Amino acid sequence: MKNTLKLSFLIFMLLMEMKTMGQDMFVGLAKKSITPSSPIWLTGYASRTTPATGIVHDLWAKAIYLESSPKEKAIIISTDLLGLSREVHQGIVQQLEEKYGLSQKQIIINSSHTHSGPMIWPALSGIADYHLEEQKSVSNYTLGLIDKLVDLAEESIAKKEKMKLSMGHGQADFAINRRQLAASKLGQDLPGPVDHDVPVIQVSDLKGQIKAVLVAYACHNTTVQGDNYLVNGDYAGFAQIEIEKKYPGALAMFILGCAGDQNPEPRGTIALAEKHGKKLAETVQNVLQKPLKPLGNSLRYDTQLVSLDFQKVNISVYQKELVGDDIFKQRRAKLMLEAINKGWNIQQYQYPIQALRIGKEFTLVALAGEVVVDYSLRIKKEFAQHDIFVAAYSHEVMCYIPSKRVLQEGGYEAESSMIYYGWPGPFTDTVEEKIMGGVYQLMKNIGL
């Protein structure tokens, strides 16, 4: 009996050892400064009137390359930028495909949506009134960015070594629903959903040394506002600096969730951005002090395009806007009338969605654009048996993605933001069901 127990114990220990060994995978880490070297227009606020005047701290692009087998590889890239344009995103993917055989479904590029980062051509170029020379610096930065992000990916692949991934969750409460706040100031009542989840992934070497920390949160990086002309990564930039201080030698990466209708509160100063950043770093530290859930060493991924429809707008609306007194409507009308004259399809948008499953334990859904928080809450609820984080601001940031509820309520995220982004008008109310249909298909394809 004693021997049987001893044998069972040995088998148990052996199985545990095999399980632990099975959690290794090749991980490559890299970071690169993407701080603009010359004065450049910052983007995100239409109220700015000149290029940036200085720098608070560097902006970064960071990469975590994962390889669980010669056939299973993926890369997550974060950028301290408002968002990439389709041109930039596709430029990077094309090069990674040519050089490393990585296809779109293996590449997630997320933007922190800092409103104190450089303009990326041609996204939101309608909000700035810049001269030719200033426009050239935006174009040069954009072209250089593609090369930098490809180099970054290359470096992370070259540096791959065996590491282990584990994770936990915390909460941070400085995100509020800004639509609810705006409505309450007008004496109206709107629901105020938020998602305060803070997933934290720890990457450690085989000696147990922390080499990278990935943190995600759903809140606009808009603590500082349009009166700020200093380059900085807002709360996410400060959070990464703080995490790298707490874990010397580790790379801190930030991924933005469904923050379309989420703002930090309070807001308005650099000091507040730093305060929120430190709060997020503190949450990370609390998570990492508790036991973490190991992530298995398999990777599943898939991507697809969902065709979203814009509501039909009569051409006379743009003709009137063109001669109206709103400069932003004039610029949008000019774009739309040119597109109509050239016979371009401006009724649909091919919207990219993606999912990456690490082990059986965690899934990162990556949606493009400024997705409102309803999507995160709905996906987590409908796949409640799984540990999921829904990243938005991935691939490209081309406009807001409202839910059916937000579309019905109207307002900035549903309607007027489309003017600044240069799209024909609001989406039809099929947008949410179409995206959810795509998400269900992706989840099925990655084994959920």
Query: What is the spatial distance between Cα 367 and Cα 402, in angstroms, rounded to a whole number?
Result: 12
Element spanning 248, H or E? none
Q: How far is the CB of 123 from Zn ion (least distance, A)?
A: 11
The position carrying tokens 């890369």 is 75
Give the residue with the Cβ less far from Zn ion, 274 or 370: 370
* Amino acid letter, residue 373: V
- Site mask for Zn ion (CB under 5 A), range 85-124, x = bound: ----------------------------------------
Q: Which is nearer to Zn ion, 302 or 370 (CB)?
A: 370
Cis peptide before 51 (omega within 30 of 0): no
What is each CA distance from 384 to 6, 30, 54, 259, 374, in whole angstroms? 39, 33, 45, 20, 15
Per CB under 5 A, the segment of 69-77, 178-186, 279-287, 370-378 that binds Zn ion is 370-378
Per-residue contact track with Zn ion, 326 to 365, x per CB under 5 A? ----------------------------------------
CB of 105 to Zn ion, least distance (A): 26
The minimum distance between CB 260 and Zn ion, in angstroms, equals 7
CB of 417 to Zn ion, least distance (A): 8
Q: What is the closest distance, in whole angstroms, from the C-beta atom of residue 395 to Zn ion in the complex?
A: 15
Please name which of 228, 39, 30, 59 lies closest in space to residue 140, comparing C-alpha atoms. 39
Query: Whose Cβ is closer to Zn ion: residue 281's or residue 397's?
Result: 397
**With CB under 5 A, what is the number of residues at the site for Zn ion?**
1
Q: Looking at 15-23, 119-127, 338-346, 366-374, which segment touches Zn ion (CB under 5 A)?
A: 366-374
CB-based closest residue to Zn ion: 370
- Which is nearer to Zn ion, 242 or 370 (by Cβ)? 370
- Residue number, 195 or 370, with CB nearest to Zn ion: 370
The C-alpha atoms of residue 340 and residue 162 are separated, in whole angstroms, by 54
State the Cα–Cα distance between residues 66 and 64, nearest whole angstrom.
Answer: 6
- Kindly state the smallest distance separating residue 117's Cβ from Zn ion, in Å: 12
Stretch of 158-166, 261-269, 321-329, 367-375 lying at the interface with Zn ion (CB under 5 A): 367-375
* Rounded-to-integer distance, Cα 148 and Cα 58, Å: 15
Q: Which two tokens stand for residue 299?
A: 């990777």
Query: Which CB atom, from 280 or from 399, has the smaller least distance to Zn ion?
Result: 399
Could you give phi then psi for residue 226, rounded to 5 degrees? -65, -15
Q: Quick one: which of 300, 212, 304, 287 has its CA closest to 255?
A: 212
Candidates 185-193, 242-250, 318-326, 369-377; binding stretch for Zn ion (CB under 5 A): 369-377
* Min CB(116)–Zn ion separation in Å: 13
Toward Zn ion, which CB reaches closer, 104 or 111?
Answer: 111
CA distances from 311 to 316, 374, 397 (A): 15, 21, 20
- Residues 372, 259: contact at Cβ < 8 Å? no
197 vs 370 by CB, closer to Zn ion: 370
Least distance CB 83 / Zn ion (angstroms): 8
Q: Tell me if the bond preceding 402 is cis, omega within 30° of 0.
A: no
> What minimum distance in Å lies between the beta carbon of 259 and Zn ion?
7
Neighbours of 353 (CB within 10 A): 23
Q: Half-sphere exposure of 302 toward its Cβ, with a 13 Å CA cutoff?
A: 13
Residue closer to Zn ion by CB (options 149, 371) is 371
Rounded CA-CA distance 315/192 in Å is 36
Q: Which residues bind Zn ion (CB under 5 A)?
A: 370
